[in-house]
Amino acid sequence: MNPQPLIVGIGGTTRVGSTSERALRMTLAAAQALGARTRVFGGAELQLPHYDPATAARGPRETELVQALREADGVIIASPSYHGSISGLLKNALDYIEDLRTDSRVYLESRAVGCIVCAEGPQAMGATVAALRAIVHSLRGWPTPYAAMVHTNGPAFDSGPQGPDPAVVQQLELVAAQVIEFVKMRRALVAASS
């Protein structure tokens, strides 16, 4: 077991530098500061063929995503809110987790999953967080108690002299901290039962 946990981040949109991808990268940077190794699958890497459960053949990008999730100690997912739910791009990527159905750790079992949602309004954010948590539960993952909600109708990641909004940074750091905390507790439990 590598002493540095692997945290895999999935999220973003087809737009390079989207708010959700920036939030994901900032959260993974916070996880690195807490001692984790990280791997990010941003918008560009999520442009995958439509998931087809009847087809066993996978291309290199799909294989890379599934293998990273197989090895992950924790996962962080960042989504924009599209009509009150997660984006189709992200949902398709998450559907590839079905390829872990026969693993000893099925789907996202035994892994904390941090959730981040980016949207312009609180109603959209709340509905999307609920949808994302339901998906994580269905995949046997453990959503962290706190989910970050980044309001995109403001200077969340202002590149001016003030830098990112401190409230946004605090939210994202909390998501990272809770994922890392769960990994440490899980590892301690496994070590104690060995």
pLDDT in tens, 4-56: 999 999 998 888 888 999 999 999 999 999 999 999 999 889 999 999 989 88
Q: Which amino acid is at 1?
A: M
108 domain residue, yes or no: yes
**What is the model's pLDDT at position 15?**
86
- Outline where DSSP puts E strands in 12-157: 37-41, 74-80, 112-119, 142-143, 148-151
39 domain residue, yes or no: yes
**What is the model's pLDDT at position 165?**
82
Q: How confident is the model at residue 1 (pLDDT cuts 50, 70, 90)?
A: low
10 domain residue, yes or no: yes
- Is residue 163 over pLDDT 80? no
**What is the model's pLDDT at position 155?**
64
What is the extent of the structural domain holding 64? 6-193
**What is the model's pLDDT at position 14?**
86
Which carries the bigger pLDDT value, residue 68 or residue 158?
Answer: 68
**What is the model's pLDDT at position 13?**
87
CA distances from 12 to 16, 25, 34, 147, 176 (A): 8, 10, 23, 16, 17
CA 74 – CA 151 distance, rounded (Å) = 25
CA 173 – CA 88 distance, rounded (Å) = 26
Mean pLDDT of the chain: 92
Q: How many helices (H) and strands (E) does the chain have?
A: 5, 6
pLDDT in tens, 75-98: 999 999 988 899 999 999 999 999
Which carries the bigger pLDDT value, residue 121 or residue 64?
Answer: 64
CATH number of residue 177's parent domain: 3.40.50.360
Give how many domains the chain has, as a whole number: 1
Which carries the bigger pLDDT value, residue 47 or residue 156?
Answer: 47
Give the residue-averaged pLDDT of 116-134.
91
CA 140 – CA 79 distance, rounded (Å) = 19
Share of the chain above pLDDT 70, in %: 94
- Is residue 161 over pLDDT 70? no
1 domain residue, yes or no: no
Give the residue-averaged pLDDT of 137-141.
97
- Is residue 162 over pLDDT 70? no
Q: Which residue has the tokens 């442009």?
A: 47
How does strand 148-151 pair with strand 6-11? unpaired
CA distances from 123 to 47, 128, 142, 156, 170 (A): 27, 9, 24, 18, 21
pTM of the model: 0.94
13's enclosing H/E stretch is none
CA 3 – CA 24 distance, rounded (Å) = 23
